[in-house]
Amino acid sequence: MYIIAAIIAFGVLIIIHELGHFIMAKVNGVKVEEFSIGMGPKLFGIKGKETEYLIKLLPIGGYVKMLGDEGKSDDPRAFNNKSSLRKLSVVIAGPIMNLVLGVVLFSIIASARGYVAPIVKSTIPDQPAAVAGIKPGDRITRVNNSKISTWEDFITQVYTVGGKPINISYERQGTLRQATVIPMKNKAENRYMVGIEGTQVTSPNLGQSISYGFIETKSLIKQTFSFFKILFSGKASMNDVGGPVTIIKISGAAAKAGILSLLAFSAYISVQLAIFNIIPFPALDGGYIFLFLFEIITGKKVDDNKVGMINYVGFAILMALMVVVTVKDILYPIKF
């Protein structure tokens, strides 16, 4: 039951993403031939006036097939005959929809159960923060050179530096102060801590909830790029990376924990999906975004057949990577 809920939630994220492409294709007068949720063998479909709506077996993706998006067509409604700016608007709409969904979901969650603000509620005696003079009521603004907008930002920064000294900037009664703190490792929880508890905002108003939705989404984007930096620097391993199986498992656990937990994880994955798709790699939205920006800036059009060939290779690499990550998920699952 919970796994079904997780699959449905993951499917909704894909639908929202593809809906962005679909809507902007229609706005720009592009003929859409297929709108598919899922990949692989077709389960069933409905034929509309000009678009076939499909549900496929594997809930690991989806696509919008437009006339002229994989080669040349003489039809004026073909994707390849639209201006680079119009094509860019169609491609970038998918990731934007996922970011918007993230903002909406985080806002709903904040309104329903509140959130933790980066304001010190209490400090643990004799722990690094208390020793450094940080007190309840202090608002944390920066850790080293990184701006702190959410409590998650603060936790991430402490985790990232490990046991190295960090410079915490905070505001007390309108005055900016600084303290140098060396995190201590909590062996029981196997993580570094400075001994600070954040302040729970229990009943935010509508404006605060929406503001939190934007701030949390922005924070998550920053945290994701920080993780990429850690991953490519060798400080994290591919064992920390999960694929579809891991996503469904965690989604199922989130669904079991309650609707708000499922919404929170869905918001997280929605933002991750947006970021992944803007990576400038062939067959991803980011590859097309890079291409169309190049055409807009240089005024030179890249041959459609060459683009199609490169995207086929990129798609094959992505599918191979998907298989590898899925097998890894099954044989060597992430342990929590």
Q: Which residues are known catalytic residues?
A: 18
Distance, CA of 110 to CA of 210 (rounded, Å): 8
- Give me the sign of the Cα torsion angle 302, 23, 263, 112: positive
Distance, CA of 104 to CA of 129 (rounded, Å): 34
Distance, CA of 286 to CA of 304 (rounded, Å): 17
Burial-class residue 163 by CB neighbours within 10 Å (0-12, 13-18, 19+): exposed
- Lookup: tokens for 78: 């073909």
The SS3 call for residue 95 is helix
Residue 306: how many CB atoms within 10 A of its CB? 9
CB 215 within 8 Å of CB 110: no
Distance, CA of 135 to CA of 119 (rounded, Å): 10
3-state DSSP percent of the chain in helix, strand and coil, to 5: 55, 20, 25
Distance, CA of 168 to CA of 134 (rounded, Å): 9
Sequence-distant (≥ 6) Cβ neighbours of residue 190 within 8 angstroms: none
CB 196 within 8 Å of CB 120: yes
Length of the chain: 336
